[in-house]
Structure 1
Amino acid sequence: MNGKLLEGKVALVTGSGRGVGRGIALDLAAAGARVVVNDIGASTTGEGADLGPAQQVVEEIRAAGGHAVADTHSVADWDEAHAMVQTAIDAFGRIDIVINNAGILRDTIFHKMTREEFEAVINVNLNGPFYVSRAAAPHFKAQNGGNYVHITSSSGLIGNFGQANYAAAKLGVAALSKSIAMDMQRFNVRSNAVAPWAWTRMVNTIPAETEEQKKRVEGLMKLIPERIAPFVTALSSDAAAGVTGQIFGVRNNEIYLFSQSRPIRTAHTSDGWTPESVIERVFPMFENDFYPLHRSGDVFTWDPV
């Protein structure tokens, strides 16, 4: 079944020269999709450029009998995002699937984070998915169909230390995905977000100086980036036609469906609230349901399987 699952489809995968994106590109191609492998070949902080990684994945796909072309445009630029979608049109005549995977890290504790460190991550990790998705939207609308998969992160959905820029972008991606799902539903277009757990170049930048950090990194090294791909391929297929507006997670052999924000407690008064009555009644009433300052690792405490 896998060989025909995406037959006739054309997919664009951003940041697919390495890691999670590479695994997704290879798996989509194995399922029959023709793939635009987009990657500027930059460092984990977004610096430098190397045409090699994207072309190498293209060659892997072609060697396996698939069809692919390389693209080195940047997701962080409106015009270049449109150019990479045009690459799909020029090479394969259409576009059906957009996987917004490209990302960078600039980890810094909040009170030391510079404007440049914040904006650089937002530009790639949040503006990028908007630019690329927006560039594909007219094509999806015209053909009455299309599928977006946006890579989010538990850093945004739950939280992590020293990642205010990355967390803000990745939680924004989840909201962007939901909005696209609602706005484009009438055109038979789906949009979902997936949080991957995987040992990649970006994860490799996490400090491992204290015993706690070393233990965390040892656990992360067990996470295989290629394990994300089968779920993304399934989600990109017509067999998932009823799945949209959702947030998923994939961690080796585990797949999660994430909750989305809903009220969990309510306080009401017929007399209207004053600051004093809020302090006296509301905070004590809600206190047992306050969320602790958990990091992702505090929630996902078990070893990956």
Structure 2
Amino acid sequence: MNFEGRTAIVSGAGRGIGRSHALLLAELHAHVVVNDLGVDREGRGVDRVPAESVVAEIVAAGGSASANHSDVSSAEGAAELVEGAVQMFGGIDILINNAGVLTGHDFPFTPVDDLRRNLDVHLVGAFELTRAAWPHLRMSDAGRVVMTSSSGLFGDLDLIAYGSAKAGVVGLAAGLAAVGARDGVGVNTIAPIANTRMSDPDPVFDSFTPRDVSAVVAYLAHSDCQLNGVTLAAGGGRVARIAIGESAGHVQQDLTIEDVADNIDTICDTGELFVPNDMAGYFRAFLGRVSDRKRLP
């Protein structure tokens, strides 16, 4: 599996997992646009060196790459990045939305500016960059988008703002996947765990290399991948699906508060979890289950 003749944009590719994605895609013969503003972990400062260093590494190995320092959280920055990629390589086939920040939180003392900073980079940035790249992805015969979420979407007392943004990415990806099904663009999501500057300094992560995550991202970005609207967890050599689903639940007519209390264990039982492909599929299943109440004694 390779990417001969394909062009990929990787945001936040100057360090960590993004750098690993860029190096692997270039190794597999893709043209790679390495985007990185060069901020610190909390999104402050600007440094052109990280992106340019990755490009130099790729070129030295015989690959094809260019550096970009646009701020993808703005419509102007996203458009500038996309226009530069098209001018340099003639089109866009792959978009890896990887740029991110991580700010520590102490709720309820977390300032709203922390939430806005996380939303701007993770969620708004992915929205703006995908929106700018979409017309070119549609023109590709194998347009692919890989979003980056996190296990933070499951909730952590120290990562309220970060987790909120990462959960939002999953919702954004679901909507984009629905549009992608119409437009011929595959949109999937990765929830990575790897030893980078974004991870906690815990020895448990020592063997969790970014390369393990990049292998999954490369698969999702490849023309052979027919998945759409799927979130994959990846880390330490393990890959698994993360899915939002619905339990079988409880159905009855004239539901009362006591009925809810009496059946709460059944309502919360995830043993028969239904994972819809999209909102339309969800509503078809939901209405089908609700209609069962008409057959109740």
Does the C-alpha gap of structure 1 residues 284 and 21 become closer, same or farther in structure 2, counting only changes over 3 Å?
closer
Give the partner amino acid of 2:230. Q
- How far did 1:285 drift? 4.2
Q: Which runs of 5+ in 1 are unaligned?
A: 207-216, 291-305
Structural mapping, 1:89-108, within 5 Å? 89-108=86-105
State the alpha-carbon separation in 2 of the partners of residues 142 and 15 from structure 1.
25
Give the partner amino acid of 1:283. I
Give the partner amino acid of 2:214. A
Give the partner amino acid of 1:89. V
**What residue in structure 1 maps to residue 148 of structure 2?**
151
For 2:235, which of 251, 260, 264 is the aligned residue?
Answer: 251
For 1:282, which of 244, 255, 263 is the aligned residue?
Answer: 263
State the alpha-carbon separation in 2 of the partners of residues 223 and 144 from structure 1.
34
Give the partner amino acid of 1:164. I
2:70 aligned with 1:70, yes or no? no
State the alpha-carbon separation in 2 of the partners of residues 36 and 10 from structure 1.
8
- How far did 1:274 drift? 2.8
C-alpha deviations, 1:208-235, integer Å up to 9, x for none? xxxxxxxxx2212331112211221122
For 1:190, which of 176, 186, 195 is the aligned residue?
Answer: 186
Q: Which runs of 5+ in 2 are unaligned?
A: 272-297
**What residue in structure 2 maps to residue 295 of structure 1?**
none
TM-score (norm 1): 0.84
- How far did 1:254 drift? 1.2
Query: What is the alpha-carbon root mean square deviation over aligned residues?
Result: 1.7
C-alpha deviations, 1:251-270, integer Å up to 9, x for none? 12111122x22221422222
State the alpha-carbon separation in 1 of the partners of residues 211 and 37 from structure 2.
20
**Residue 29 of structure 1 contacts residue 67 of structure 1 at CA under 8 Å; is this kept in 2?**
yes
Does the C-alpha gap of structure 1 residues 161 and 222 become closer, same or farther in structure 2, counting only changes over 3 Å?
farther
Structural mapping, 1:1-305, within 5 Å? 2=1, 5-143=2-140, 145-156=142-153, 158-204=154-200, 217-240=202-225, 242-258=226-242, 260-270=243-253, 272-279=254-261, 281-286=262-267
**Residue 247 of structure 2 contacts residue 269 of structure 2 at CA under 8 Å; is this kept in 1?**
no
**What residue in structure 1 maps to residue 290 of structure 2?**
none
TM-score (norm 2): 0.86
C-alpha deviations, 1:178-206, integer Å up to 9, x for none? 211111222211000011110111114x6
Q: Which moved more, 1:11-20 or 1:105-114?
A: 105-114
Tell me how many residue pairs correspond in the alignment.
271
**Residue 31 of structure 1 contacts residue 233 of structure 1 at CA under 8 Å; is this kept in 2?**
no
Residue identity (%): 33
C-alpha deviations, 1:114-151, integer Å up to 9, x for none? 11011111100111111111111111224454100011
